[in-house]
Amino acid sequence: MKQMNQRDAIHFIATRQEFKASALEGRAGGSLSPSNRLSEAEANQFIRTEGIGYTVYSYDTPIAWHTEAHGWHLVEQKFSSTTSKHQNYVRRAVAESLVGA
């Protein structure tokens, strides 16, 4: 898995490539760790989503996921300031991916 700085991760998120940048990570597939911080509603949404092909995590918590059938789901739940920064990177990446589509 490619190690990088968080700002450089935007391109990897946009193209759904695996990476690790400190507490921000993109991985194929998707799973919930026991330490995730999703609200019950968002966790249920994640669990019910079929065909997750790519997930972006902040501190082991899914903050966005992608399916071929439905595209991106961005978690709107508020977290720490660092995770909010990660969520903004994801928003920029999704915008970049839509421009390239």
The single-letter DSSP state of residue 64 is E
* Residues making up the chain, counted from first to last: 101
Phi and psi at 16, nearest 5°, equal 55, 50
Overall domain count for the chain? 1
Please say if the pLDDT value at position 34 is more than 60.
Answer: yes
Q: Which residues form the domain of 86?
A: 2-100
DSSP strands (E only) in 1-101 = 2-3, 19-21, 24-28, 52-58, 61-67, 71-74
Report pLDDT for 7: 78
Q: Are 26 and 12 in contact (CB under 8 A)?
A: yes
Q: Which residue in 97, 23, 99, 8 sits closest to 57, CA to CA?
A: 23
Indicate yes or no: pTM above 0.85: yes
pLDDT tens digits for 2-21? Answer: 677 777 899 999 999 999 99
